[in-house]
Chain A
């Protein structure tokens, strides 16, 4: 029996696949592309998080307990005095600086690197770095010793020399550094030359941030980061380190665990409430939560490409089964069981799906590097600055992609597989029976489609589930399914009319083209639906991007009323912690032509377990010159005039994500003291999806004892010369390294960042459209093969090859046009869901809806033109129809 099945598979399936190589290739390519983009995006996303985790682990080393500041980016060094008890219980600890620093690159451009400050006299366990063999500036950064602490001591002597640091291997290679050479770093107050005390190998701490870091002794690190008297966190090693997190039940570590729990408890008692007692994993988990929305959105987009791939496999298997109904009928009549027939087609599905999935997995592995490059800047700009150079795929990602590829293939093939077994031998030879059944089902399918669309509407009204827009995605899925189900009835009504219309204008070619499509509704509907989905994805993303872009530019134009913006070059280069002294605000205000200057400062804090930016603004100046837009509709002046004392305004993403509204109370833990702020209003903001809390500057200074500013907004007097004021400012503040931009320049920068962020989205919708095109080409091939008889008759009746080709091109144009029209409608629905439901719930942004008509018109023309071009091969096939052979076969 197995032998018989194998013979059937070989003779019935493999031979057919060989005979239809082009169509098999199209199907395999469609599945492969869908799986590939899914895998590529998965790997890119996971690599970003894995790199973050790896870096956290490399910097933490054996540390298994941390003290982390919540209400500020750093903690007072004075708190360390309370940790003297740790030595008594065998806990090793050290303070750490873990910040950004801007250095001058080899070609003169500024680049942001990581600076790790550690106490070089601390326990050697915290200094797990090794010096490179060749002293740097080379690829071979091999370690000199397996004993980290031993090799560390070899370079320590020079680390204590003034302005001397250890350099990571990648940085050393890029900047051509070796032991004894120098490089320049950019501080808010100016440039500073640093000496290279040694180059670390890529193992241990030297491998953190992919080797793009410097390690300095604590005092120097504090100076370089402007954190004199403060530290980023405290790392502790309890017991043997790392493995002990207090959760272990292992008997052999029970003593360590007890110490761990006791130390944790003691720290909770003595540390202020704005110091969190956590582990390195706590930071990794925060990063994961922070980037979740971004990642899920990307993955959801890749699923649409997979869904189009599903239509492709459905189409292919339906055509295969329908085309071979007579053969099935003969086999059934000869006594072949239904299960054998099912098995044959099942193996064919597995063969095609397996081939497509395998190709997709291989291709995805290659595409992953490109996907990582596309998402890296978004991760680094918005979330965390960890170098993301090389993908690090995990085997389970490949397995997941393969499982999804095969799972969706089998799901899509299920209806045609069942169809292959449910026909009686006599019925099997009647090809029309399936079409007539579909026509009969068209109305019920249409009604089901309407129900899906109604459910889509209801789903779109639901809120997020655990901060995830589950119902938003469900609504999108329902919209896609619903619109697809409308297609058979819509086409059955549209095509006869179109046949008459085209007959009127094009004669027999147009009439035959449309009527053939109408006669093979099952294929036509699937091809149109898959193209519709691909185009809908393209249109909806284009609308979403256009809406975002318009919203952001309008927001910049309206909210950024200052004429000039000043910040340190270090901050402009990407070091968000770089500050300027408050005195620059007064100096700015004193320049002739300047009406007012407003100092703004922000810092990342942890609010209820998640990062947020706490900022301080001078609301007196803002009230007079600013133009912040508020959700309440109140004027900027009215809100800003009320902003004093314990009042705060919060950004919309923060309000949406934390479910806050006007009048709610925020509790900020500052130095162990809980400070409450009333939400005065919520303002529109698109700078960060983490959100902002802005409090009055005087309150901030008082609470945080911090009078620095991150940037200065400079408002000019009417008629003042912008260039002259800028020049005067540069000359007055020549000591500091400043970046002064006009609002126009700021806007340009914002758009560059914006486009970079959406680069991956453009790539994804292009791939979805390519898969759709494959689907159209596949359908056209199928139609051409199915229409062989018609073509042969037409050849008998005097139709030339060019006329037959024209029929196929017309069919392609019809499919593309119908798919396009459907895609525009579905795309509109999806765009509403994306902008007003999914993105709102994911990121909290209100987006003004904007349709890019020019793009839509251009892309529609392009899609139809591409579809017609894709008909080239099927048209050649049609033109080569040998009439006698076909009719003889009939």
Chain B
């Protein structure tokens, strides 16, 4: 099933157990991320956090993950980002099978190609705005100070924080902190932006502002985004909405915002 301008497809696959799992192809012309039959179990009691998840994310798409707390959204994001490895199944990111790589290689790919935005911003309180945003470049590239600074300033300008470069996180509002966090997540031009409840800790005005910013980045720069959220409003921002329940993808709908 392919919709014009939407470029998303849902593949229904048969799960090995009694659970049915939806396979999803999200947006774009070219696959950026492909999860095949991914499962994740934790601990001695083999708690199943993810059950046979199949997901394809295409370049330039904006996918929203929704579901109740504990449904597996964060686990899925961590596996997508290479922060956690699946118990079974495979994760192919940008043509590379992540599950076959060593930790240091996964770390390098994560540093170079993935950006993160968190609910609680997670800025380093002892660093200034500029220093926080500069971190990914310093950790993963050999850019000169001048080049680095230019990129940082450009990104801060894009998120409207160019006047706060010497501020410390404690001196910023929640919305401002999240904008800085988005700048930090994008400063090294990642292939994928992973956002975990980016508006969960913001008031509605600031939440809307952040969502607008993400939409703008997706539409203007073609930035691929996978966002987990509780908020219906946030969930409607993307070009597809993926619902999760008990560790499995249970439905996928196409947002109007994502269609032509």
Chain A interface (Cβ within 8 Å of chain B)?
Answer: 432, 499, 503-504, 507-508, 511-512, 515-516, 518-519, 789-790, 792-803, 883-884, 887-888, 890
Contact = CB atoms under 8 A, between A and B. Distances in A.
A801 B104 contact: yes
B158 interface: no
Given A511-B127, A888-B74, A794 B139 contact: yes
Given A794-B135, A798-B108, A890-B122, 15 more contacts: A507-B138, A508-B134, A512-B135, A515-B126, A515-B127, A796-B110, A798-B140, A800-B108, A801-B103, A801-B104, A802-B104, A803-B139, A884-B78, A887-B122, A888-B74
Contacts, number: 79
B92 to A, nearest CB: 19
Most B CB contacts (10 A, CB to CB) among A499, A511, A518 go to A511
B111 A797 contact: yes
Contacts of A801: 103-104, 107
B136 A798 contact: yes
Smallest CB-CB A-B distances: 8 pairs = A798-B111, A515-B126, A508-B138, A519-B126, A507-B138, A884-B78, A798-B140, A800-B107
A506 to B, nearest CB: 9
Nearest to A507: B138
A604 to B, nearest CB: 66
11 contacts: A508-B134, A789-B122, A792-B122, A794-B135, A796-B118, A797-B136, A798-B107, A798-B139, A798-B140, A799-B139, A884-B74
B246 interface: no
A514 to B, nearest CB: 9
Interface string B9-42: 0000000000000000000000000000000000
Contacts of B145: 504
Interface of B: 74, 78, 81, 83-84, 103-104, 107-108, 110-112, 114, 116, 118, 120, 122-127, 131, 134-136, 138-140, 145, 170, 184
A799 B78 contact: no
B83 A796 contact: yes
Nearest to A803: B139
B104 A511 contact: no
B120 A890 contact: yes
Contacts of B111: 797-800
B79 to A, nearest CB: 10
B108 to A, nearest CB: 7
A316 B120 CA distance: 29
Contacts of A796: 81, 83, 110, 116, 118, 122
Contacts of A802: 104
A508 B111 CA distance: 13
A887 B135 contact: no
A885 B130 CA distance: 27
B90 to A, nearest CB: 20
Nearest to B117: A796
Contacts of A508: 134-135, 138-139
A796 B80 CA distance: 12
Nearest to A436: B170
Contacts of B139: 507-508, 794, 797-799, 803
A516 B131 CA distance: 13
A511 B170 CA distance: 18
Contacts of B110: 796, 798
B127 A793 contact: no
Most B CB contacts (10 A, CB to CB) among A508, A790, A796, A803 go to A796
A789 B112 CA distance: 21
B126 A516 contact: yes
A799 B188 CA distance: 13
Most B CB contacts (10 A, CB to CB) among A507, A516, A794, A890 go to A507
B74 A799 contact: no
Contacts of B118: 796, 887
A60 B139 CA distance: 80
Nearest to B75: A884
A790 to B, nearest CB: 6
A519 B123 CA distance: 13
B200 to A, nearest CB: 13
Given A508-B139, A512-B127, A884-B78, A798 B122 contact: no
Contacts of B114: 798
Given A503-B131, A515-B126, A884-B78, A797 B83 contact: no
Contacts of A515: 124, 126-127, 131
A883 to B, nearest CB: 5
Contacts of A798: 107-108, 110-112, 114, 136, 139-140
B35 to A, nearest CB: 17
A800 B104 CA distance: 6
Contacts of B131: 503, 511, 515
B83 A884 contact: yes
Contacts of A890: 120, 122
